[in-house]
Amino acid sequence: MKNKGAWIPIGVAIGAAISVATKDPVWIAVGGALGAGLGFSRPQFGKKDGPFKSYYRSGQLKEKGTYKDGELEGLSELYYKNGQLSEKGTYKDGEPHGPFEGYSKNGQLEWKGTYNMGEECGEWVEDGETVTYAACPPDLEGGN
């Protein structure tokens, strides 16, 4: 039987943590020294759906969020390798939609603003300066 679905190459690292939130067929190949390898499958079908987390090789959380019908939906957060929050924001149908914030590796706010289906709207703070885009729809939090 021919394997169908996505191939996900994974480097071998002690303590590596993996999380796959998908209903697509997933074939994971783990390679080792001298070409040794191990493969296994997770036969789920459909689109990505539900909460997910991904991790750095160190085991530190890299990203968390939720998929709905294969698209990002709701709050999503990205983290630096040091564990500090890098970015957080909300998605709707896979598009940035609502408030977003970005942080430096030391935790300082670098930018902040609101998206309307992937487009900047309202007032944004970027590198300490205020930038104004077209007004956000009234139903978006933080948008003016």
Task: Tell me the domain boundaries of the chain.
Answer: 6-132
The pLDDT > 70 percentage for the chain reads 65
pLDDT at 6: 42
Spatial separation of the C-alpha atoms in residues 66 and 47, rounded to whole Å = 12
pLDDT, mean over the chain: 76
Provide CB contacts within 8 A for 97, sequence distance 6+. 90, 91, 115, 116, 117, 118, 140
pLDDT at 40: 34
Domain 6-132 belongs in CATH node 2.60.40: no
Cβ(141)–Cβ(99) below 8 Å = yes
Amino acid at 95: E
Q: What is the pLDDT of residues 5-61, one digit of tens each?
A: 444 444 433 334 444 444 443 433 333 333 333 333 343 556 788 999 999 999 999
Angle at 14 between CA 12 and CA 17, to 5 degrees: 80
